[in-house]
Amino acid sequence: MGLSPTTVSRLPVYLRELELLSQAGVETISSTGLAEVVGVTPSQLRKDLSHLGSYGTRGVGYHIAGLQAQIGRELGTARGWPVVIIGVGNLGRALAGYAGFSSRGFRIAALVDPDPAVIGTVVHGVEVSDLAELEAVITRTKATIAVLATPPAAAQSVVDRVVHQGVTSILTFAATVLAVPDGVIVRKVDLGQELQILAYYEQRKSEEVVR
């Protein structure tokens, strides 16, 4: 076992679409059909699913409920992973209010912020803790996943603290490059980076006209 990173990154998408299909009452789907709704090629989909030792039926297709269960198991969606969100500005609030949170197997174990005006308030059902108590919060909640919605300047120091407390997976929205020890996984979402990538292709399109 051990799926390739690219396969892992597609599984959540498959799972999401399978949920929609099963809600719509569909019971079985072919690789071609599912590939179309998720936007990949049928062979890619079949290869991905074959890595999970999957349950397709030749001549028929995939049994949706079974496939959901299998992917869900692979991603650990039943575990209700406790997640700590650090930074309760607009971004932190948006994340806290994200509807898919619990349906995808997570729960907000704590919200943390340094602002006295925010500490103690309740956001989406969770009381905001003081950033000064970050260590205690992580110990108490046993969270191993942290989401960083802090200003970039604060990110590295927060990372150091949560890693020291046993967090091994970090999702950061700060643009800074983060240093972490081996074994800690960081995923970065950077608005500026995404826009600049789009701008590159946008510029190429306009240059093409000139050429």
Partner DNA sequence: AGCTGTGAACCGTTTCACAGCC
Partner DNA sequence: GGCTGTGAAACGGTTCACAGCT
Q: What is the DSSP string of 92-107?
A: HHHHHT-THHHHTTEE
State in angstroms the smallest separation of the CB of 58 from a second copy: 27
Q: Which stretch binds DNA (CB under 7 A): 41-49, 129-137, 150-158, 177-185?
A: 41-49
Greatest Cα pair distance, the chain, in angstroms, is 62
- Of 56 and 92, the one with the shorter C-beta distance to a second copy is 92
Sketch the per residue contact string, 131 through 170, with a second copy: x for CB under 8 A, - otherwise.
Answer: -------------xx-x--------------------xxx
CA pair distance 184, 168, nearest whole angstrom: 4
| Binding partner of 82, given DNA, a second copy, none, CB within 5-8 angstroms per partner class | none
- Of 61 and 105, the one with the shorter C-beta distance to a second copy is 105
Structure tokens at 162: 């949560």
- Of 94 and 179, the one with the shorter C-beta distance to DNA is 179
In 3D space, the residue among 44, 61, 59, 123 whose CA is nearest the CA of residue 86 turns out to be: 123
DSSP letter, residue 167: -
CA pair distance 157, 155, nearest whole angstrom: 6
Judged by the rule CB under 7 A, the positions of this chain that interact with DNA are 4-7, 29-32, 40-44, 46-47, 49-50, 54-62
User: Which residue numbers belong to the known binding site for NAD(+)?
Assistant: 87-92
